[in-house]
Amino acid sequence: MRSLLFVPGNELKKIQKAAAISADAFILDWEDSVLPSHRKAARELTRNFLLQNEHLQPRALLRINPAGSKDFELDCQALADLPITGILLSKCQSAQEVRCLAGVLDRSDAEGRIRVHALIESAAGILNAPQISSSCARMGSLAFGSEDYCADLGILRTPGDIELLFARSALVTAGRAFGLEVIDSPCLDLNDQAKLQREAQAARNLGFSGKLAIHPSQVPVLNQCFSPTETEIETAKRILAAFSSGTCGVLTVNGQMVDEAVLRRARQILKMS
C-alpha cells in the first residue's frame, strides 16, 4: 500500500469523497479525528456506509481505539460482519494487544480475511515491534505515528527528522523481518507538496512501502513516490535479462557489479510496477 488516507468516521461527505479517490486504501477513523462524544455516531454512520458499499471492501480499513480503552470494547462490538479488509489498531504497544483484537476478529471472521495493522506510536511500541510483527497470522503491516511518538519521548523535531531515524529504521527492520508492509507517518503540512515529496522519498529510501495521508491532495504524490520510476523499471529488466542469459553469479550491468542481492531488488521493483 503506497497511500492510506485517513477519513473521520463521522463525516459522510468526506467518506464519500475518499471512496472515489485513488488512494490504495482509505482509513475510516474512530479514534483521534472523532471526539469521544461523537464516536457512537461514527460507528453507526460507518457501518451503514460500508454495508451499503460492499464493493469498497478491498480498500476499506478502520482505525479503532487503543486496546484496553472503553472505546476499544465498543469498537470491537461494532466490527461484526463489516465488509473491510483490515483494522488499524491505534497506539499499539504489545503483541498481547494485537492478539486481543485477533481474538475478537476470530469470532466473526474465522477465515482470516481481515488483517491487523499495528499503529506504533510510543517507545514501548518501537521496542516491542518484533514481537508485535510476529504476534498472529492476521498481521498485515506496521505503521508509524510520529506525533504521539515525539510526545511520548519529549522529542523536539528539526527539519529532516533526524531525531526519528532510529524509530523509523527499527520499525522497518522489524516489519520486513516478518514479511510485513511498513507505513510511514503522515506529513502534516498540507500546503507544502515539496516537503511531502521529500518525506515520502526519504521514507521509501529507508524501506517503507507507503505513507499515511491526511488530505486527498497528498495521495497522487505518495502514489508516485512509492512507485518505481521508468528508469528503475528498465534497469531492473536489464539486470534480469543479463542473469537469465549468463552462467555466472556476479555480472556487470551498465558498469555496475550485480550479484544475487541486486537481482533480488530488481525482482522487487518489477513486482511493484
Per-residue confidence (pLDDT) for residue 221, from 0 to 100: 97
Q: Residue 174: what are its φ and ψ, rounded to 5°?
A: -65, -50
Is 20 strand, coil or helix? coil
Supply 134's cell numbers.
Answer: 510476529
> What is the grid cell recorded at 26?
482509505
- Strands, E assignment, the chain: 3-8, 25-29, 60-64, 86-89, 115-120, 139-144, 181-184, 210-213, 251-253, 256-258
Q: The C-alpha cell of 177 is what?
A: 523481518
Residue 54, CB half-sphere, CA atoms under 13 Å: how many? 4
In whole angstroms, give the CA distance from residue 29 to residue 246.
52
- Whole-angstrom Cα distance, residue 175 to residue 265? 17
At 235 the pLDDT is 79
Q: What are the pLDDT digits (tens) for 84-110?
A: 999 999 999 999 999 999 999 999 898
Cα angle 12, 16, 20; round to 5: 165
Please state, in angstroms and rounded to a whole number, the distance separating the CA atoms of residues 125 and 91.
Answer: 8
Residues 134-184 have pLDDT tens digits of 999 999 999 999 999 999 999 999 999 999 999 999 999 999 999 999 999
Give the cell for residue 260: 544475487
Beta bridge partner(s), residue 13: none
pTM, entire model: 0.89
pLDDT number for residue 268 = 80
pLDDT value of position 245:
66
Which residues share a beta bridge with 133?
none
- Whole-angstrom Cα distance, residue 135 to residue 140? 11
23: closest CA among 168, 142, 240, 186?
186
pLDDT at 75: 96
pLDDT-flagged residues of the chain (< 50):
none
